[in-house]
Amino acid sequence: MSEVPVVRRVLRHIVMFKFKEDSPSTAIKAIEEGLHALPAAIAVIQAYEWGLNNSIEDFHKGFTHIFQLSFDSEADRKVYLEHPSHLAFVKILLPHVDDLHVLDYWAAGPTILSQPKDSSSRL
C-alpha cells in the first residue's frame, strides 16, 4: 500500500516596501540587513526569502523590495509580530517608508515545479 502524501499548510507573510525618494542607500541597505537578521533571532520563522522588483510591467507603483516569511500558525505569526527584534526593526524601517503592503495567506500543499525543457527541443 502506498503512503498518502501529507499536505502541510504554511502561513505566508508578504511585505512590500516603497521607500522615500530621499532615503539614502545606506539606510535601505541597513533595512535589508535588519530584515535578513530576523530569522536567526526569531525561531518561529520557518522560511524567509526576499528580492528586488524585476518586473518589465509598469505596475510596481514605486515598490522596490519584497519579503516573504513563512510560519506554521497564526500564533507563530503573532510571536513574530510582537517579538522585540521585529519591533526594533520596525523602528529602523518606518522613517524611510513611503508606503507598504502587507498580505498574509495560507498556502496549502507542496510547490510543484515543472521540469526544465531540453533546450535542444526548442524551435
Do residues 49 and 32 lie in contact, with contact meaning Cβ atoms separated by under 8 Å? no
pLDDT at 115: 55
Mean per-residue pLDDT over the chain, rounded: 89
Percent of the chain with pLDDT over 70: 82
80 CB-near residues (< 8 Å, 6+ apart):
13, 38, 42, 44, 45, 69, 71, 86
pLDDT exceeds cutoff 90 at 79: yes
pLDDT exceeds cutoff 50 at 122: no
The reported pTM is 0.81
pLDDT digits (tens, 9 = 90+) for 26-68: 999 999 999 999 999 999 999 999 999 999 999 999 999 999 9
Query: What mean pLDDT do residues 62-76 have?
Result: 96
pLDDT exceeds cutoff 50 at 108: yes
pLDDT digits (tens, 9 = 90+) for 11-31: 999 999 999 999 999 999 999
pLDDT at 8: 73
Q: Which of 52, 74, 73 is nearest to 64 (CA)?
A: 52
